[in-house]
Structure 1
């Protein structure tokens, strides 16, 4: 991946009246990168995407595309395309006409349009649907066609505004794999907006986590999950057990908040070796079975609730109120900002 920046936000702020939607966001997106903006509704991620697209102008700060300040440049003059959640396909047109529409507007020859449309349909693995109408395709197929239509114009940057949100879980998981493969094939910059942490973790080269208009953290999926900077990131991306100084003093001396992921914690029997482990007696409150794994909620004598994830085997589920020992390695605990 090149280190050239396709997109750069410099102290970008966006106000809607008295509402501060984005607060001094600054980050760069590399050429050819799959970059996700992740956060809950109202966190500012979609507003940032729409400012890059040109639908909004920043109230303050700069947005650079390929090094050029694009303030005041309308969307149709920016070398970007956007894929929306509702696909926005023309129902009266065939699939081939939908995919080739952008080229037709540019007065590209019919022969070249037909060739490039077929190439795009083959790339999204739908080579034989050109004569059909959008209503004859499944949701996942329509999503691929929307991608083909956006990519056929060879944009510098593709913007994706929660494009998988309308799909069911199984299809959404399949499309995550497809989308990442397509991005690697075309090699252009993808900027993906989502509130779904699993989507962001599974597809992204880097992720920006938004909260209340601010960028809380930017990093690789591994960094965001394993080394969150703040309590918000730790709790929003996955499940975390967060201990404050008072709680952790009974386990190990700490000067700040610490977190540990449920899968790093194990359940021990009285006979199991405990060398090198932090061990805490606890009582089982609840166990939630979810197929391959179960999630246990336990409570320590100090009243701290801890979530433990364990892989299921042929062992029977534990009974509530069972006395047990939870344990983890000190190096699996991570300090976060208070």
Structure 2
């Protein structure tokens, strides 16, 4: 028996005149998953989200919700809700009125509305703001209220269109943890659209990486980062050292390109080729620049043949080794640190 997904794309294509925004995409999203669609601007991820919501039609192919073809069905007849980046809260209404608006439209009794609004505000950790206006709240609080308003209707699927994009870095990191915790608490399928790979890696059960209208890879965060299938995924999800086809052939005898993550690159300060490098493939390199990032630094090296290698190193180690820009050192990695794309 075929698996029934909460959301499924079957050979979906979406064209805008001659531009193909989504190109023959097929995949399924499991019930209760936190599923992220990740990619650069124009990659097709938001168009896919809008087709699930019913805001956009397919040019060909089908979109299914819980096994039912909803292609052509209007948004208000789909069991989904959407949280947008700008939150779209009604400024003239109180927070409680905003959260309960969907239930009021359904003509539920006031007592039921008040009860469920109170439950939702408690769930998003804002039980005491019901009488305030949205303008009296911080950006993070407004984001939570938008989430409560979307969840109060108990949708089968919640769609989140870059909802953290307007927040500053620290608040965004806090809200990532909150979103994941709330999703686990309610058990609803979340589909999260973002261009921020750290957001996707930190929250998702699985991630679909989009590029030019196609899905390059769908995998768990760990698999996506450690075993990317393509050079695009390796470079978009994190930073990578990509060895040329010729160098890969020389090192492994196999066709393709090798990837080594910067944190897997070891730097041997003042090392010689005959010591301190047992078990490593080592290369002479000159430190060209160093980017400080608090706990770590990214060190950019150049080898004699012109190749560039990036190493991510703990600053405590850098301080101890006293590596200066312009120094010649050895850099290297173990065979187990290489991944063939």
Bigger Cα displacement from structure 2, 291-300 vs 241-250: 241-250
How far, CA to CA, are the matches of 2:331 and 2:216 in structure 1?
31
How far, CA to CA, are the matches of 1:188 and 1:29 in structure 2?
12
- Give yes or no for the alignment of 1:322 onto 2:327: yes
TM-score by structure 2 length?
0.96
1:72 is displaced (CA, Å) by 1.1
Q: Given the superposition, is the C-alpha separation of residues 135 and 165 from structure 1 closer, same or farther in structure 2, using an over 3 Å criterion?
A: same
> Which residue in the other structure is 1:170 paired with?
170
Which residue, out of 303, 311, 314, partners 1:311?
314
Structure 1: unaligned runs, 5 residues or longer: none
Which residue, out of 304, 309, 331, partners 2:336?
331
1:246 is displaced (CA, Å) by 1.9
Contact preservation (8 Å) 1:120, 1:148: yes
Structure 2: unaligned runs, 5 residues or longer: none
1:186 is displaced (CA, Å) by 0.2
- Give yes or no for the alignment of 1:72 onto 2:75: no
Q: Given the superposition, is the C-alpha separation of residues 324 and 250 from structure 1 closer, same or farther in structure 2, using an over 3 Å criterion?
A: farther
How far, CA to CA, are the matches of 2:132 and 2:323 in structure 1?
54
Equivalent residues in 2 for 1:164-243 (5 A)? Answer: 164-243=164-243
1:327 is displaced (CA, Å) by 1.2
Which residue, out of 270, 275, 285, partners 2:278?
275
1:321 is displaced (CA, Å) by 1.2
Contact preservation (8 Å) 2:245, 2:257: yes
Over the aligned positions, Cα root-mean-square deviation in angstroms equals 1.3
- Give yes or no for the alignment of 1:262 onto 2:262: yes
Contact preservation (8 Å) 2:249, 2:256: no
How far, CA to CA, are the matches of 1:317 and 1:83 in structure 2?
49
- Give yes or no for the alignment of 1:301 onto 2:304: yes
1:71 is displaced (CA, Å) by 1.0
How far, CA to CA, are the matches of 1:262 and 1:275 in structure 2?
19
Bigger Cα displacement from structure 2, 128-137 vs 285-294: 285-294
How far, CA to CA, are the matches of 1:243 and 1:128 in structure 2?
56
The number of residue pairs the alignment matches comes to 334
* 3-state secondary structure, aligned to 2:96: helix
1:320 is displaced (CA, Å) by 1.4
Q: Given the superposition, is the C-alpha separation of residues 177 and 59 from structure 1 closer, same or farther in structure 2, using an over 3 Å criterion?
A: same
How far, CA to CA, are the matches of 2:258 and 2:48 in structure 1?
31
1:275 is displaced (CA, Å) by 2.1
> Which residue in the other structure is 2:82 paired with?
82
1:273 is displaced (CA, Å) by 2.9
How far, CA to CA, are the matches of 1:158 and 1:190 in structure 2?
5
Contact preservation (8 Å) 1:287, 1:318: no
1:276 is displaced (CA, Å) by 1.8
How far, CA to CA, are the matches of 2:299 and 2:330 in structure 1?
12
TM-score by structure 1 length?
0.96
1:274 is displaced (CA, Å) by 2.0
1:253 is displaced (CA, Å) by 4.0
